[in-house]
Amino acid sequence: MKMRDALACLALIEVAMFANSAQAAEAAKPVVVQVIKAGHLVDVAAGKVLADQVIVISGEEIREVGPAGSVNIPAGAKVIDLSSSTVLPGLIDTHTHLTADPTEPPYHGFGVSEPRAALKGAARADRYAHAPDGGSH
């Protein structure tokens, strides 16, 4: 096995170990329940704008969406009042260069090995995924 292949395998093993430890830490966290009160909610599937909607989010999963009077708001939930706003689901940045660093000088990336780039990309992906602003950069 070539040294480059061995390093690539080592990098993949470290990324897998990092992912497993992150999953274990995530599983230990208490589930946070959030409620969004939306003045208007754009239902892109139906092509309609709905008024006075409530969205219940448990952890990272949307549990319930419906009219304000028909949705049960769990005790202790963090309520985000957007009743004077319109909520639009979906807008996700799906195009990101995880291995690029705009703070480095031009052509710096040409001297970075593939395993090192993979590790840097995995670290950036984790940082973006756990960023308070949803990962925008």
Report the chain's mean pLDDT, rounded to a whole number: 82
CB 66 within 8 A of CB 53: yes
Higher pLDDT, residue 42 or 107? 42
* Percent of the chain clearing pLDDT 90 (strictly above): 37
pLDDT digits (tens, 9 = 90+) for 10-54: 656 676 666 666 565 666 678 899 999 999 999 888 889 999 999
pLDDT at 36: 94
CATH class of the domain whose range is 33-87 = mainly beta
Sign of CA dihedral 100, 104, 109, 110: positive
In the chain, where the domains are located: 3-29+102-126, 33-87
Query: Can you list the positions of beta strands (E) in 20-67?
Result: 33-43, 48-58, 61-67
